Structure 1
Amino acid sequence: MGDLGRTRILAGAAALVAVGAGLGVRALGGGDVGKYAGDALYTVLVVALVVLVVPRVRPVVAAGVGLGFSWGVEFFQLTGGPAAMAAHSGLARLVFGTTFNAPDLFWYAVGAVAGWAGHRAVRAKGRGQSLATTG
């Protein structure tokens, strides 16, 4: 299997783990810990999906897209659209949330950094390099 296939498999696995962990932490953790861990994992999921679709993407670009998407969804909540969709669909509630919460923006950034670090580590290992020599 080539590097692209390996990258896609790992990105798909990371996406599944992020979904499972996000749902689990929200269900079991509760409170602020569960909420904000779920926010970070949401962005990790988006970063993993970006890598799954575009396996050659640089880690910083994948993280930037993940962060931009997550922030875009959060600001979209200011319109009331996500709350209206969530009233009719549990899936829409999971994907778009319902209400704007400024601290979420920070936790999305935490998730983007985690996604960047994970993708960077996978790329370095695939190339046989140390993290100190990769960008």
Structure 2
Amino acid sequence: MAARAALIRQSGGPRQAALTRQAALTRQAALTRQGARQRRAVAAVVLVLVVAAGLVVHEALPGSTLTDIAGDALYTVAVYLGVILLWPRGRPLVIGGVAALWCIAVELLQLTGMPQQWGAAWPPLRLVLGSGFDARDLVVSAGASAACVAIDAVIARRGSRRAARSLRAVMRGAAARRRRRRGAPGLVRRST
């Protein structure tokens, strides 16, 4: 409440304060749209790299427990990045939850045997739905999703700090322009 009163005093009245808040919200929305586009573009590039790494793990490396875990982790990362492509403004924790739930649902679907039948009909589907249930995959999916959330949260925090600095600069500039227009004390008005 005190911050609002200070904004009203500084801006020259409630109407001007409302206009200032609207300008700040418009600028913040533009920064959010720009951030969403950037986040989507980065996610698309990283998704291509993750899918390539997953295919290398699946095709080129010998089948072992380690390659199975790496493949499951890369699958979860790919799902996380896919959710970002669909919802770039989503919070990391929510996106991580969606990715983990998708991976767990796919793993539980494998208990029915349908992914094996579908994979026999169209082999690339095995890469998306898997072929057999393994309880370890549930743990790997949860861990990989948690790692994605942690990394994404750190990146988002850095980006929001940058956006906040930009928004504060816009607000300071708007306040300085208002002071110049009003001829605030301490400022010399230029005569034309």
Q: Please indicate, yes or no, whether the TM-score normalized by the shorter chain is above 0.5.
A: yes
The residue type paired with residue 122 of structure 1 is I
Deviation at 1:28, TM superposition (A): 3.2
Equivalent pair of 1:22/1:38 in contact (CA under 8 Å):
yes
Deviation at 1:29, TM superposition (A): 3.2
Question: How many residue pairs are counted as aligned between the two chains?
Answer: 129
Unaligned runs of 5+ in 1: 130-135
SS of the aligned residue for 1:99 comes to: coil
Opposite residue 73 of structure 2, the aligned amino acid is A
- Quote the Cα distance in structure 2 between the aligned partners of 1:72 and 1:39: 14
User: Could you tell me the percent identity over the aligned residues?
Assistant: 35
Instruction: Say whether 1:32 aligns with 2:62.
Output: no
The normalised TM-score by structure 2 is 0.63
1:69: which partner in 2?
102
Q: Which has the higher contact order (CA 8 A, sep 6+)?
A: 1
Which residue identity is paired with 2:97? G
Question: What is the one-letter code of the residue matched to 1:93?
Answer: R
Max radius of gyration: which structure?
2
Amino acid at match of 2:153: R
Contact 1:28 1:34 in 2 (8 A): no
The aligned counterpart of 1:17 is: 49
Q: Does 1:117 align with 2:150?
A: yes
Question: Take 1:2 and 1:105, find their aligned partners in 2: how far apart are those partners?
Answer: 35
Aligned to 2:111: 78
Runs of 4+ in structure 1 off by over 6 angstroms are: none
The aligned residue for residue 37 of structure 2 is 5
Structure 2: stretches of 5+ with no match in the other structure: 1-32, 163-192
The counterpart of 2:93, out of the listed 37, 55, 60, is: 60
1:88 to 2:121 alignment: yes
After the TM superposition, which of the residue ranges 101-110 and 66-75 deviates more from structure 2? Answer: 101-110
Deviation at 1:111, TM superposition (A): 1.6
